[in-house]
Structure 1
Amino acid sequence: MKTLLKTKHKKIKQTFEQAENDLKSIQRGKKIPEGEGLLGESRELIVFELAQTSNISTENLSIASSVNDVLMQIFLDARDDTTVQDIINAMTLCIHGLIMGNYNEEDFRYLYRYSLRYIRNQTPIERWLRKALLYLSAINNESEAEILKEVRYWIQFLGAPLFEPSLFIEPATELGIDIKSALETNQFRLVDAVMRHPQYLQEAVQELSLLESYEVLKDWAPDVVLLNLTRIKKRDVYEVAQKKITSNMTVEKSVDLMQQVFVKEGFKTNRDSNLPVKLQELKSPTPGDAIDPVIFELIPQKLRVSLLPAVAYSTKTKIIEIIFLGGHRIGRSGVLIKTDTGGILLDYGLSVANHRIPEWVPEIDMIDTVLVSHSHLDHVGGLPVLFQEFTGKWCSVGPSGAITKILLDDALKVGTPFPPRKYDPLDLISRYNESNIEKVTKNHVQLEYGVSNEVGPGIVVTPIDACHIPGSAIYSIDIEGVKILYTGDFNMDASVLFPGANLPTDADYTIFDGTYWGREDFDREKVKQQISKTISDFGPIIIPSFAVGRSQEILLILEELGITRNKNVMVTGMAERVTKIVGVTGHWDSMKKNRINLQEDDVLVAGGGMMAGGLARHHFNEQRGNPNAAVILCGYLAPRTPGWNLLHGYEPHECHVEYARLSAHSSSTNLENYVNSCKGKRIMVHTPVYAEPKGVMIPSYKQRIIIKT
């Protein structure tokens, strides 16, 4: 029998010991005495997961078996009348399984996100969640600080609301964990105060500098509070600076003076550098410098109105900072490059797993321009949130602007940016709305591959084809001679869509996509053979595929194989719209709107690569009992999505299922060969890898690199 984890927390330790004794009892044919576990659940639940781990029969655990049945139905999204108690029981069982290795973090997150979709009143869920997160965090940690740090991690990972810290005191006491003394410090008292009464934020931080108050609030206060804090302190420090600046000062002297004021007033979030100086935001700035005609010509015409004041009031940058807002994890990409007088934001994505945007830092409020690498939601999904107040422009290449509009509209329609509390004014994600999508659309600037542009004061970028999806771009960035390469998602492998990206290796800093680092390579020719054989042996065929990039690749593969001439190949939905926008053509048709049933010779390419909805899902449901039909899954399948369930045998069906794996990311071999050839510092983002490979940095959330020019 597996031994449970050791912990020094008395009540949790007793629960584990009791579970081990209960399991021995059922092995002897005895019943488990009635009683509740630490999370208010039947004692059977933890014993059930312990039995599963130890390959011991669970037939006498009727309560837990019933909960397990509900859990499986939830994983399949096959339950019509899920109650609050169903969800809580299922999540409790999952937590015990998570502790013992039967489930993983993604499973637990799926259940929590499921509860947000189906349970309107989240109060009992949130009450349970606070206790559950303390329970999870206390198992591996002893100190109050470590427990609270891990609780914060779980909140971030799940996309749960940032609870007032004081709300954790009662459940912690029930678990026998003493965190009261930690939460009664001045730090947490201030956090509690501003979360309960955000309208009094200015009074609460009146005696503190931005640096002091930000250090206290940054981990637990909602992003909107931090945004408002920055603006309060910015207004105050600019008033102080204005009194010292005279009309005869040069721009350079004015910037130096403001930086001195920033230091004296503590207007910073990082002890080693200042926040950007925006002279143009003073009420009475000094006269701006004349703009060099060469620089003027480098600024795209649609950027000039918003960017020229920033350029006129800028000076040569002495310190560059790279701030990793999205850390290294896949989803919600975001990297900020800060200069002395502004900066740029590279991507601003939305995680489809927890519906969160990149971590917020005050520097976001001071950027000049946004550069988007490509139009996938995890790189553009945060733009509507940003454009609630951002008045600058965002830039991309080729069809990315048009595709982004389609994606943002569709996400809003299907409820992808789903906050844990709808219309929460303290939650930035609540700003994802139709009005802000319209602002995104109106403030787009299209760049061209190979053409250099000044997109911020002293920031010159040159887009390179990333060969990931149509319009994807790698940005070669030059700031005062410091070369930074940001790849976004890129693909060095040749495909029917692209020849493969050709990247420079001489950058001082290469920030690269590491999605497939260390993974097994795949053979595109074998994938084509899989597709050809499946279509030859079965019919009708359903190919769920991502609307942007993958659908076009599949269509061109079908064209290359001659299938579009021998079968009735149809493309529909968003996949069809994007295919037309990017100009990919061939011998396929649109699906007629009144087409209900697929015929034997039909091959349907439909958006929704994970089969979470849409026509691919609809037609699978129609064909699931047809042994002659086939579904070809051709991309990444997130755990517990319908496509993942289908592939792993959790979805009942009689049709054939084929996994023809394709990817728009560089294969592991080509990726590692390229990175090893890079001469400067190598930084891997957007990766499932935790351990840093030799010579490669993997940044954490909000980690900074400071560069002196």
Structure 2
Amino acid sequence: MNIELYHSVKELFHEKKINSPSIKSDNDEVNQIVQLINENNLKEDHEIIISIRKLLWNENIIEEIEDIETFIIQSIILWRYNLIDYVDLKVLVNLLFIKEALDDASLVFLSDLLLLENELSPIHEWLKSILDKLLEIGNHIPNLGIVISLYGEITGTETFEYQSIISVVETLESRPEYFSELVELTPSKDLVSVLPWLNWGNKRLVTNYLIEKEISELDETTFIDSLNNKIQTSNNILNDLPISYPVLEKKITNIPAQTLDSHDYENIPSKFVSEWAPKFVYSRPEIKQKIKIFFPGGNEIGHSAIMIKTNEGIILLDFGLSVVNNSFPKWSHLLEKVDVVLLSHAHLDHSGGFPLLYHNNRKLPWFAKKETKIMSEMLWNDTANIVGRNVNDAIKNKTAFRHIANQKNIRNALDNYNEIDLQTEIKVLPKVTVKAYNAAHLFGSVGYELNIDGKRILYTGDFNLDIMQKNKGKQFPSDIDGLIFDGTYWGRPSEYPNPKPTLKEVLDNSTRVIIPAFSMGRSQEMLFQLKQLGAEKKWKIYITGMGGRLVRKLHLTIGPSGGGRSSGVHITGTVLPEDFTDNSIVIGGQGMLQAGTSRNLLESTSDDSKTSIVLCGYQAPNTLGYHLLNKNTYLKAKYKQQVYRINLSGHSSAKTLDNYVNSINGTKIIVHSPSDAKEQIGKSDVIVPQSPINF
């Protein structure tokens, strides 16, 4: 990116005066967009905005953009003046990055502009801010040498003192054969400082080396006191770690052993009794329990992850992948010493990051319902295939994609799976038991009640109280000390009102129907509704791709042949336009119409007003489905089909959720919520977590 143009745009953002003469540059297209905004002549259907939308909708390809630098600068300016959403910009940057249209230098300039700060912070603060912003945008860790060099270029300052840590990062990343020698020669404080700039695999290796080194150097005669001191020191690698077996390993024998009886082993899964024995034998029951909750996945919808630390260990709840911008929960050294993982359900924003946890044949037990394991395996393999097809090796090696797409990691994750039964208490740590409840969100979805030394914390995962109450089955408990809840519709109406017309009315007024639906849950629910209407008597019903495979995998009842012709339902890989004849209904994947069978059929029937599109799931603001529903002018002219919305939310409605949350007297923490949740809440007793919480 041109440094003069960067400074001009930065000044423009600081002043927020669009007619500032300082923005004038040699780039006529940038000057043009500034003038249009200044004159209030830049509307939704302007060609500049439509060109961005077409890229986001997969209508255009990146190779058609003549000047990437101008394009991204225009996009940043449009975002700054609220003409495109932040999610649009994040997706756009990820597309350009994956296709190698943006290099590390451009990403750094872009991140600094997004910080919206006029003056640069001191270099150590700026480096952290830049990395945090890049990880917020997507799955990017730039070359540290380039980042530091750009700081010097922007500020005119010398950065020679950083050459040693730049060298450490570059050697660790490019010469793994020298790992042992390098870490032994590098001061621990320097290794800690480079951790954020390493790829995921090297983060794990360096962290485990540092923890083992720190523990090996503790004075044996004052072991517990020395360890406690380091755990409480914020700049030490042991900070916040529990005194647990995964942390201490062989050194755990420095803790006085407890005499256990048969009662202490009750509810430990039988396969783990001998393996987990040291956790219980060398626990410290006399120490007052301290519970601390961390939120590496943040509080918004995207990539859920919550860590609960007790005196004797760490429990991880979910570990997702954002399908919007390919980002993961924020890395923490605590992730390397997790004792057990509890997965609420299979959706990628809760399960998609699992292969990262199972790098290097790591042994880490995780629990979930068997349906969740089946669907997670399908989604992980599908994600690996997509990454393999669309991301080249250079980008994979720079990012966590290499671990997500690694079949060894996926197999290792599956090997560590353990089934959990509903309403059955299991003991996973000293003084910690877990019980699963049906969450009515997806096949196999559960919420978890953790009883930690008498304190009961409920993590709902994604849940649908409306369905739970209709079914009158076992409900989530309300007499709890803490609630960590899915706040998708908290303080707001459901995403869309009750559908008008109904599904039956849509069928009555259509000759062909396309139902883009998420493969896990929505596809099967739409199929169930069609079967309830008896639609197979008149219509040829196709369910394609992963949605169809899941119908077979879970042995869902859709007819005597399990989906054969006699059931009126055809399970197939795809449906070609020439086979999409009158009286056909196709349930396809890609529920936001970004690609796949549904998108192909949308394009091939664009002139047919008797073909109907039924959208039945969440539509992200950057997607074609979202803009079709919101009657984008360009799309209305292009697509003549009728577009309908049928709400099949897997989340609790606002009213039902509000009633349940109000019934809780304990601490209430909202996660999985929209970005403006804090403004929507308006209640002092609901916490939007911005930092760890001592419980």
| Bin of the TM-score, shorter chain as denominator length | 0.7 to 0.9
In the alignment, which of 51, 61, 83 is matched to residue 102 of structure 1? Answer: 83
- Rounded Cα–Cα distance in structure 1 between residues aligned with 2:284 and 2:302: 35
Q: Displacement, 1:12?
A: 4.1
Q: Displacement, 1:230?
A: 2.3
Q: Is structure 2 residue 320 aligned with structure 1 residue 349? A: yes
Cα deviation, 1:373-401, whole Å, max 9, x if unaligned, reads: 00111111111110114302110024111
Which residue is equivalent to 1:44? Answer: 29
- Rounded Cα–Cα distance in structure 2 between residues aligned with 1:484 and 1:319: 14
Which residue is equivalent to 2:208? Answer: 231
Q: Mind listing any 5+ residue stretches in structure 1 that lack a counterpart?
A: 1-8, 24-31, 37-41, 59-64, 246-252
- Rounded Cα–Cα distance in structure 2 between residues aligned with 1:675 and 1:573: 38
In the alignment, which of 658, 678, 682 is matched to residue 691 of structure 1? Answer: 678
- Rounded Cα–Cα distance in structure 2 between residues aligned with 1:617 and 1:140: 43
Aligned residue for 2:75, secondary structure, equals: helix
Which residue is equivalent to 2:552? Answer: 580
Which residue is equivalent to 1:665? Answer: 651
Q: Displacement, 1:203?
A: 4.8
Kindly tell me: are residues 263 and 622 of structure 1, through their superposed partners in 2, closer, same or farther at Cα, counting changes over 3 Å?
closer
Which residue is equivalent to 1:631? Answer: 613
Matches within 5 A, 1:562-577: 562-577=534-549
- Contact map agreement 1:467 1:501 (CA 8 A) in 2: no
- Rounded Cα–Cα distance in structure 1 between residues aligned with 2:246 and 2:571: 53
- Contact map agreement 2:18 2:34 (CA 8 A) in 1: no
Amino acid corresponding to residue 570 of structure 2 in structure 1: S
Amino acid corresponding to residue 161 of structure 1 in structure 2: H
Amino acid corresponding to residue 559 of structure 1 in structure 2: K
Q: Displacement, 1:137?
A: 2.6
Which residue is equivalent to 1:281? Answer: 249
Which residue is equivalent to 2:485? Answer: 512
Which residue is equivalent to 1:589? Answer: 569
Deviates more, 1:333-342 or 1:463-472: 333-342
Q: Is structure 2 residue 195 aligned with structure 1 residue 196? A: no
- Rounded Cα–Cα distance in structure 2 between residues aligned with 1:481 and 1:100: 51
Kindly tell me: are residues 360 and 149 of structure 1, through their superposed partners in 2, closer, same or farther at Cα, counting changes over 3 Å?
closer
In the alignment, which of 230, 244, 247 is matched to residue 220 of structure 2? Answer: 244
Kindly tell me: are residues 387 and 489 of structure 1, through their superposed partners in 2, closer, same or farther at Cα, counting changes over 3 Å?
same
Cα deviation, 1:242-269, whole Å, max 9, x if unaligned, reads: x727xxxxxxx98x46735745998955
Aligned residue for 1:527, secondary structure, equals: coil
Kindly tell me: are residues 170 and 582 of structure 1, through their superposed partners in 2, closer, same or farther at Cα, counting changes over 3 Å?
same
Amino acid corresponding to residue 20 of structure 1 in structure 2: N
Amino acid corresponding to residue 696 of structure 1 in structure 2: V
Deviates more, 1:390-399 or 1:313-322: 313-322
Q: Displacement, 1:548?
A: 1.4
- Rounded Cα–Cα distance in structure 1 between residues aligned with 2:316 and 2:574: 45
- Rounded Cα–Cα distance in structure 1 between residues aligned with 2:410 and 2:109: 37
Which residue is equivalent to 2:423? Answer: 450
Which residue is equivalent to 1:5? Answer: none
Which residue is equivalent to 1:259? Answer: 227
Cα deviation, 1:453-477, whole Å, max 9, x if unaligned, reads: 1123332000011111111111000
Kindly tell me: are residues 75 and 239 of structure 1, through their superposed partners in 2, closer, same or farther at Cα, counting changes over 3 Å?
closer
Deviates more, 1:617-626 or 1:660-669: 617-626
In the alignment, which of 399, 410, 432 is matched to residue 437 of structure 1? Answer: 410
Kindly tell me: are residues 265 and 135 of structure 1, through their superposed partners in 2, closer, same or farther at Cα, counting changes over 3 Å?
closer
Kindly tell me: are residues 412 and 66 of structure 1, through their superposed partners in 2, closer, same or farther at Cα, counting changes over 3 Å?
same
Q: Displacement, 1:570?
A: 2.8
- Rounded Cα–Cα distance in structure 2 between residues aligned with 1:441 and 1:343: 21
- Rounded Cα–Cα distance in structure 2 between residues aligned with 1:559 and 1:522: 26
- Contact map agreement 1:417 1:429 (CA 8 A) in 2: no
Q: Is structure 2 residue 582 aligned with structure 1 residue 610? A: no
Q: Displacement, 1:319?
A: 2.1
Which residue is equivalent to 2:562? Answer: none
In the alignment, which of 85, 105, 112 is matched to residue 127 of structure 1? Answer: 105
Amino acid corresponding to residue 597 of structure 2 in structure 1: L
Cα deviation, 1:477-502, whole Å, max 9, x if unaligned, reads: 01111211111111111289966882
- Contact map agreement 1:321 1:338 (CA 8 A) in 2: yes
- Contact map agreement 1:491 1:665 (CA 8 A) in 2: yes
Which residue is equivalent to 2:4? Answer: none
Q: Mind listing any 5+ residue stretches in structure 2 that lack a counterpart?
A: 1-6, 173-178, 559-566
When normalised by structure 2's length, the TM-score is 0.83
- Rounded Cα–Cα distance in structure 1 between residues aligned with 2:574 and 2:247: 60
Q: Is structure 2 residue 350 aligned with structure 1 residue 370? A: no
- Rounded Cα–Cα distance in structure 2 between residues aligned with 1:511 and 1:585: 34
Q: Displacement, 1:180?
A: 3.9
Cα deviation, 1:249-295, whole Å, max 9, x if unaligned, reads: xxxx98x4673574599895576775645487217947965654344
Which residue is equivalent to 2:133? Answer: 154
When normalised by structure 1's length, the TM-score is 0.82
Cα deviation, 1:411-447, whole Å, max 9, x if unaligned, reads: 1112299889746667444212111111111211110
Matches within 5 A, 1:3-152: 12-13=10-11, 20=19, 35-36=25-26, 42-52=27-37, 54-56=39-41, 70-80=51-61, 82=63, 85-119=66-100, 122=101, 125-139=103-117, 143-144=121-122, 150-152=129-131
- Rounded Cα–Cα distance in structure 2 between residues aligned with 1:668 and 1:54: 41
Amino acid corresponding to residue 664 of structure 1 in structure 2: G
What is the RMSD of the two structures over their aligned residues, measured on CA atoms? 3.8
- Rounded Cα–Cα distance in structure 2 between residues aligned with 1:346 and 1:619: 39
Amino acid corresponding to residue 656 of structure 1 in structure 2: Q
